[in-house]
Structure 1
Amino acid sequence: MCLQNIYLLLVLLYYAQAELFTAKPKDVEEFEGQIATLKCFLGEFIEAKYVVSWWKAGSKLTEQNEVVTMDERMTVNLDELPYPGAFSYSLLITNILLKDEGGYHCQIDRTPPITSGIARLTVLQVPSVEYPKCTKSANSYIVGSQVKLTCTCELLSPPVNLVWSREGSFILPMDIQTEELEDFVYKHYIFTAQKDDNDATFMCQQKTKIIPKIQNCTIRNLNIQYRPEVKIQHTSALFAKIDSILFCQSFANPPVTGFKWTFTPVLNAYEYITDGQVLTLTKLSMDRNGTRITCSAENKIGIGRNTMTLHMTKEIRRNDNIQKNDNDLEISPEAEENNLDIYGKDNPSISLYVVIIIIILVVIIVVVVVIIPVYYQCFCKTRTTINTSGREIYQPTVYYDPRDRSSNSGLYDRSLPRLPNTGHYGHWRHSFASQVPEDLDQQGYMYIEERNGQNTL
């Protein structure tokens, strides 16, 4: 009896080893909507004796060549290979969905059942071109309030990575809050609004390992509102008995809606003129030195103020042709602070020197560029003449040197050349010479001989 049990155990081990799967099914990765194929291979399998099936977790999907689950996207094939007892068992899933992702294995139905290794099906999802989406919690924010920027993408497999950046600089992940809700992922960037955040640009980048392309969305020109920042400025030192202009400079979002000037102690109405941002002090006396002047600017967010103390110097009297010594002027501390030097680089006389130099340069340029070329064209250039047929006739420059000589002695003047026709010296000669610039070496002479009242050449 004991020997029979040992024999039976050996037989079971033999068949179990003979019907083992030859290898573990391979893992499969496929894009959503495509076809996924899972395969397992059997050795020494007797089709008429045993049944093989596909399983996902604890659910049976197929049995031999039939699909037992209610899913029309699945098909199964048990194909015999060209080796005795060797088979390939394939499961095809068309138009795969994210829910198909998971572990699959083959099983031979016997006692005890024999199972293959697990094959992992991974469904790859491509992000939609509609994502990511960037949103902000409000159209505008007041300085000190909370700003919430949100980047939204789909909940995919594999997961995508969302990265926030500001003006090209990445924001640390520790400053980002992540939230998953239904089929979407939200990345929130929350911070306190500052004036420097006004007009800032924020970008959210979406990255995934399955495609190299990076998709992004942008929030531009963030609107951060703040009350006016005010500063009183003036362009020169303030002198008694001379009109002075002060300017109320402001920075605000939204723009300033109104300006107001106040004085401590109060100035008389005839001592100043206000025009919005501009204040004109009309010939104040030295008694007003130390007056506190305040400019207030207001927008819908609030009011901003700036106050300055009036520091004036004594009245300056200068003749246009006489410049005083520097010791004759009193410069206020505020003028010294603003580097206002009355006889320094802002002196109008220096500007006059610059103007004179510029005028001289302009005259030189006009002479060189305009007058000299025009003079040459009009007086030095060779002129041409056109005949009746329209042809140009060149007119060289010619000068004449007439000479008339005669001999009263009746003798030939041997200083004269011989006559061309007789070879004798002439009594009288009228000659002229012409010189052409293009042919300076050529000279021409014409001789006239008068005999018995006749002219002979």
Structure 2
Amino acid sequence: MSMIAKRQVEIILESLDLKFKFTKSLNMRLSLILLQICIAYAVRFDAKPNDVQEHEGQIAILKCYLGEFNKQNNVVSWWKEDEQISLNDMVKAADQRISVNLEKLPYTGAYSYSLQITDLKLKDKGSYHCQIDGFPKIISGTARLGVMQIPSSEYPKCSKSANSYIVGRDVKLSCISELISPPVNLRWSRKDTFILPTNIQSEILDDLVYNHYTFIAKKTDNDANFVCEQTTDAISEIINCTIQNLNIQYRPEVKIQHTSALVAGSDSILFCQSFANPPVMIFRWTSTPVLNDNEYIADGQVLTLIKPSIARNGTRITCSAENKVGISTDTTTLHIIKEQRRENNIHGNDNDIENSLETKENNMEITRKNNQGVSLYVVIIIIVLVVIIVVVVVIIPVYYHCFCKTRAATDLTGREIYQPTVYYNTRDRSSNSGLYDRSLPHLPNTRHYVHWRHSFASQVPEDLDQQGYMYIDEKNGQNTL
């Protein structure tokens, strides 16, 4: 074999050896990849972490649940979107409010991996997930952390663009609250009726929300109350602020009034009635043609016409009322009539006179009858009173003196004998059965009772120190004292 052929054989053998080594190395690598894939697919997340919604300043806890997890071979971590927060039990974020806990559950290969954030802030809201490092990476489902902000207790605030407004000009009321999440809802109302949003303008300025209600002032808006209602999904409580007694100013409304007809020769009063905000400062009275100074007295809202004459009939009287907003006037025309009594006396006809006389006679007759009826009633009342007086003053004392008064007894010398007020009634008693009348007193100086007795007793005068009794007993026809 030539040298060339030998060299060719050596080259072929070397190439075959290299191919064999390459194939062996490739198989080993493929085996490792397949082993990693098997291990990766053996570790899993058993459940997607739940979404959490908490108020600002509270604590939020997110949890992942792992199956077939081995702390020696596997590494798990928490992520907020693309930012890694932790690695197993170690926190990588530079935030002391964050802590993690990898806790074994009472099942083989089962673990819970929790992320806790205290003193929640608005910046903490977002999407969070767990991740198991390896090839390929295993990612859990995404949990949404929502942070709900509560408006400060000083909101909402109500304000107005001015302290007072003039009729016809714009009124601007503002309701202010914080720019928070979830956003607040502000609504204006008047007399428990909500104002349409078409009349409301909203704007955001310096982290505050403004809700402006603009309208044209009318007189009916004076002293009106407006309420701004604040609501938010973070709390169920409704909080209000109020603008009270809106001050709408307008020029006076004037009306001249008088209480009765204007009669010639009699003083009459005209009154200038006004409604204004602010109140009227100046009242002025003018007349056309001009009245003389001695024909009237002007005192503020009151104009007194002094005995106006028929010649002043048709005179135009004007009242002007002025406040800070403007001047208003009202004019009335005088209609003066003659005195009614004089007119009737002058122009009355004969029929009127006859009717008047007849009416007077009828009235006199009715008055006479009424007087008679009144006199009869008066007489009856007087008689009754006299009878009552006689009975009380005369009859009752006489009856008492004659029948009720105790008569005094006297002896032969005329001395009054005192009469006792208590008497012992006489008693008759007969007893064959040996029963005695024990209601009677004992015999003098004895303790015995008798079988039969007719007795009486009298009491000596009450002014004696001791009481004594006198007995007269009658037994078998004999009297015993």
Whether TM-score is above 0.5 comes out as: yes
Q: Report how far residue 125 of structure 1 moved.
A: 2.4
Mapping of 1:31-430 within 5 angstroms?
A: 31-317=55-341, 398=400, 400=402
**Equivalent-residue separation in structure 2 for 1:16 and 1:193 (angstroms):** 75
Structure 1 gaps of 5+ residues are 329-374, 383-394, 403-457
| SS at structure 1 position matched to 2:96 | coil
CA 1:129–1:381: 2 relative to 1, 3 Å: farther
Q: In 1, are the aligned partners of 2:78 and 2:86 still within 8 Å (CA)? A: yes
**Equivalent-residue separation in structure 2 for 1:59 and 1:213 (angstroms):** 37
Q: In 1, are the aligned partners of 2:40 and 2:134 still within 8 Å (CA)? A: no
Normalising by structure 2, report the TM-score.
0.64
Which structure has the larger Rg over C-alpha atoms?
2
Q: In 1, are the aligned partners of 2:221 and 2:248 still within 8 Å (CA)? A: yes
Count of matched residue positions in the alignment of Structure 1 and Structure 2: 341
**Equivalent-residue separation in structure 2 for 1:267 and 1:100 (angstroms):** 87
Q: Report how far residue 10 of structure 1 moved.
A: 7.0
**Equivalent-residue separation in structure 2 for 1:26 and 1:190 (angstroms):** 46
| SS at structure 2 position matched to 1:106 | strand
Q: What amino acid maps onto 1:89 in structure 2?
A: Y
Q: In 1, are the aligned partners of 2:266 and 2:306 still within 8 Å (CA)? A: yes
| SS at structure 1 position matched to 2:400 | coil
Q: Report how far residue 25 of structure 1 moved.
A: 0.2
Q: Report how far residue 14 of structure 1 moved.
A: 4.3
Q: Report how far residue 309 of structure 1 moved.
A: 2.0
| SS at structure 2 position matched to 1:317 | helix
Q: Look up the match of 1:341.
A: none
CA 1:193–1:306: 2 relative to 1, 3 Å: same
Q: Report how far residue 13 of structure 1 moved.
A: 5.9
Q: How big is each residue's C-alpha offset from its partner over 1:293-336, in whole Å with a ceiling of 9 and x where there is no partner?
A: 11100111111111122222233236999xx89xx9xxxxxxxx
Q: How big is each residue's C-alpha offset from its partner over 1:271-294, in whole Å with a ceiling of 9 and x where there is no partner?
A: 221111001122222232222211
Q: Look up the match of 1:355.
A: none
Q: Report how far residue 161 of structure 1 moved.
A: 2.2
| SS at structure 2 position matched to 1:256 | coil
**Equivalent-residue separation in structure 1 for 2:188 and 2:120 (angstroms):** 33
| SS at structure 1 position matched to 2:53 | strand
Q: How big is each residue's C-alpha offset from its partner over 1:400-432, in whole Å with a ceiling of 9 and x where there is no partner?
A: 489xxxxxxxxxxxxxxxxxxxxxxxxxxxxxx
Q: What amino acid maps onto 1:108 in structure 2?
A: I
**Equivalent-residue separation in structure 2 for 1:262 and 1:242 (angstroms):** 21
Q: In 1, are the aligned partners of 2:40 and 2:135 still within 8 Å (CA)? A: no
Q: What amino acid maps onto 1:277 in structure 2?
A: Q
Q: How big is each residue's C-alpha offset from its partner over 1:16-60, in whole Å with a ceiling of 9 and x where there is no partner?
A: 442231111011122221211110111122323332111112211
| SS at structure 1 position matched to 2:285 | strand
Q: What amino acid maps onto 2:142 in structure 1?
A: I
Q: In 1, are the aligned partners of 2:36 and 2:135 still within 8 Å (CA)? A: no
Q: Report how far residue 149 of structure 1 moved.
A: 1.1
CA 1:84–1:290: 2 relative to 1, 3 Å: same
Q: Look up the match of 1:332.
A: none
Q: Report how far residue 85 of structure 1 moved.
A: 2.1
| SS at structure 2 position matched to 1:174 | helix
Q: Report how far residue 6 of structure 1 moved.
A: 9.9
| SS at structure 2 position matched to 1:398 | helix
Q: Report how far residue 239 of structure 1 moved.
A: 2.2
Q: How big is each residue's C-alpha offset from its partner over 1:336-379, in whole Å with a ceiling of 9 and x where there is no partner?
A: xxxxxxxxxxxxxxxxxxxxxxxxxxxxxxxxxxxxxxx9xx98
Q: Which has the higher helix share?
A: 2
Q: How big is each residue's C-alpha offset from its partner over 1:426-452, in whole Å with a ceiling of 9 and x where there is no partner?
A: xxxxxxxxxxxxxxxxxxxxxxxxxxx
**Equivalent-residue separation in structure 2 for 1:118 and 1:182 (angstroms):** 33
Q: Report how far residue 72 of structure 1 moved.
A: 0.9
CA 1:18–1:227: 2 relative to 1, 3 Å: same
Q: What amino acid maps onto 1:90 in structure 2?
A: S
**Equivalent-residue separation in structure 1 for 2:401 and 2:216 (angstroms):** 96
Q: Report how far residue 157 of structure 1 moved.
A: 2.5
CA 1:379–1:160: 2 relative to 1, 3 Å: farther
Q: Report how far residue 227 of structure 1 moved.
A: 1.0
| Residue range with higher mean Cα deviation, 236-245 or 293-302 | 236-245
Q: How big is each residue's C-alpha offset from its partner over 1:129-188, in whole Å with a ceiling of 9 and x where there is no partner?
A: 222111111111111111111111222332232222223322222222222223322211
| Residue range with higher mean Cα deviation, 32-41 or 165-174 | 165-174
| Percent identity between the two aligned chains | 61
Q: Report how far residue 194 of structure 1 moved.
A: 1.0
| Residue range with higher mean Cα deviation, 246-255 or 4-13 | 4-13
Q: In 1, are the aligned partners of 2:127 and 2:145 still within 8 Å (CA)? A: yes
Q: Report how far residue 80 of structure 1 moved.
A: 2.0
Q: Report how far residue 212 of structure 1 moved.
A: 3.5
Q: Report how far residue 92 of structure 1 moved.
A: 0.7
Normalising by structure 1, report the TM-score.
0.67
Q: What amino acid maps onto 1:273 in structure 2?
A: I
CA 1:10–1:237: 2 relative to 1, 3 Å: farther
**Equivalent-residue separation in structure 1 for 2:230 and 2:85 (angstroms):** 37
**Equivalent-residue separation in structure 1 for 2:256 and 2:152 (angstroms):** 55
